[in-house]
Structure 1
């Protein structure tokens, strides 16, 4: 069920967004910011109260308060015991493994996120995403921004077993929390602090949207192209050539699964802006262990000594662990990678 299925009620001009009064948290701050990116709530007043009757009489949409989740009524609380929704249950068409209980930020994002992203991109960069890229951006922004807020607000342990269920990449919840008045502060306008928090969180959300769309998706396209062309570089398909450097490790791990090439790429050739590099593909994006490293006899050598040992001109170095090497030219890097593939692992 998507946000587009619900029509904004015509209750007041301008619209009113309701949330709870008192101490504020990152989830409703971000939820309110996201709503204000939409044309129907752009000029909305934010009404902060714990009076359910006043909220329901005055507000066009209510987040993080009220004890009820009902998309049709535009009530988005998640605190009641009956609430168990996750990204998976609200947006099952994405088939993603996001099983963390939603906060109000996650709820608003699940129903309105695509429109919020597109609104920000249109305002900031005049970008209109294709449906496919919008879907990718929507999932990635949940993964690297919203899921952290959901997990922290719901007190979800980061680890269950060996792999983290979410990653803390922003520490935004703690910074938003510090904007609440301390116990020593008197006569503070908490609503004003709430708006400061919304500005802080909103700026970071916008930056995240722009980074995902303008950098992350573009990098994914480069890695996809390299995978699709791998057999033109080496018959085995085990050497990838990135004509333009980009962050590639996480994209490669995902795209291998998508293209059913898991474990096939062993080495990646790229230009880092100063020289050409040959790097081993790690077992996982964050691992120091690789599927294939450069030959042991080359490790720790540099320049002419390395070139003579490898019988390849224009080599620069091989790291002492063998996970990466450098060359002056693309041709030398290609030769380094091809000879490395031929070298029998000890």
Structure 2
């Protein structure tokens, strides 16, 4: 019975055999292609690459920032100028390789074609920076927000709101990273001439001094150890800067914001600000005036400096000694009873001889001093 039906099935069986055999060959060939095209497996955790030899502040800080991120916190740092070795060993490469490609995670800035600044990579920020980025600036532009949040989470168990994170990110670039970018790229502080004196104690200088001396006969032996020492020095300063910005600078901004919003409850003109607690206010006021579209309106700020109440004139710029409104000329240089009698206000303490600031024993006296100063008409 089986013998009778076997001939009619043989062609089908042979055809199926050929199909299966071809499929096996195809899978085998694809496996070989896949093995040939797959790059060598990199280490776990991933390795960070940078150049060897003399180190500089920008790649030291760049490496430190990367190691604040969960994916790189346990990473080794491979230092070499061998591009092939760097590409084989490292998942991310900074300050070496002659290529900037965020997709590949290569962050070098030395090539002639590199022109990027903070503003070109992060155009959503209105403040304009025209300083060419270093490797520190490149890493900060792409990973800075996460670095800030990671440091705050570890050091203070603190999470910033999106708005405050944006403020902190910009401020830390402004007062920390931009300096490293400028120094590494040789950007002069003054146009048209050398400064009258040079500061040799800035972070980049201190990191540079951690390199072995030119007289050291065994310069390369402890280079990597010195690099990690430099990371600790620069990293400590970065962490302190992040904490100062996030925990103090932003809080001060909130105090000034509240005072500006309530200014017309202090005086109908909106020209007097009352700070319920003293904080650095000058630079914040400049920014917030633009935000609230009241540029130039605030004239005097009343605050408690810890020992007594003060009335200070708002300067034309944060570093200026020239104010929008000073205390009345007849009061200047007077103190205590003489001042109180002339001004017709009890509990006054002094008015500086330039009139940019005055003091009082109570908040009420300080507010009265500010009010009379606003309304006073100089001859």
Provide the residue aligned with 2:142 in structure 1: 111
Match for residue 325 of structure 2 among 292, 297, 316:
292
Q: RMSD of aligned C-alpha atoms? A: 1.6
Pairwise mapping of residues 233-312 of structure 1 onto structure 2 (< 5 A)?
A: 233-312=266-345
Task: Provide TM-score, normalisation by structure 1.
Answer: 0.94
Provide the residue aligned with 1:24 in structure 2: 55
Question: For 1:60, what is the secondary structure of its paired residue?
Answer: strand
Give the Cα–Cα distance (whole angstroms) in 1 for the partners of residues 58 and 332 of structure 2: 50
The 1:281/1:122 distance shift into structure 2, 3 A limit, reads same
Provide the residue aligned with 2:186 in structure 1: 155
Give the Cα–Cα distance (whole angstroms) in 2 for the partners of residues 10 and 125 of structure 1: 37
Pairwise mapping of residues 104-253 of structure 1 onto structure 2 (< 5 A)?
A: 104-160=135-191, 171-188=202-219, 189-253=222-286
Give the Cα–Cα distance (whole angstroms) in 1 for the partners of residues 159 and 313 of structure 2: 36
Q: Does 1:321 align with 2:354?
A: yes
After superposing the two structures, state which structure 1 stretch, 30-39 or 182-191, moved more. 182-191
Q: Unpaired segments of 5 or more residues in structure 1?
A: 1-8
Give the Cα–Cα distance (whole angstroms) in 1 for the partners of residues 200 and 258 of structure 2: 28
How many Å apart are 1:198 and its aligned residue?
0.3
Match for residue 363 of structure 2 among 320, 325, 330:
330
Q: Does 1:342 align with 2:379?
A: no
The 1:169/1:128 distance shift into structure 2, 3 A limit, reads farther
Larger Rg: 2
- The answer (yes or no) to whether the contact 1:144–1:169 under 8 Å persists in 2 is no
Q: Which has the larger helix fraction? A: 2
Provide the residue aligned with 1:89 in structure 2: 120
After TM superposition, the runs of 4+ consecutive aligned structure 1 residues lying more than 4 A away are: none
Provide the residue aligned with 2:78 in structure 1: 47
Q: Unpaired segments of 5 or more residues in structure 2?
A: 1-39
Question: For 1:93, what is the secondary structure of its paired residue?
Answer: coil
How many Å apart are 1:211 and its aligned residue?
0.0
Give the Cα–Cα distance (whole angstroms) in 2 for the partners of residues 174 and 153 of structure 1: 11
Give the Cα–Cα distance (whole angstroms) in 2 for the partners of residues 217 and 66 of structure 1: 38
Task: Provide TM-score, normalisation by structure 2.
Answer: 0.86
Pairwise mapping of residues 30-41 of structure 1 onto structure 2 (< 5 A)?
A: 30-41=61-72
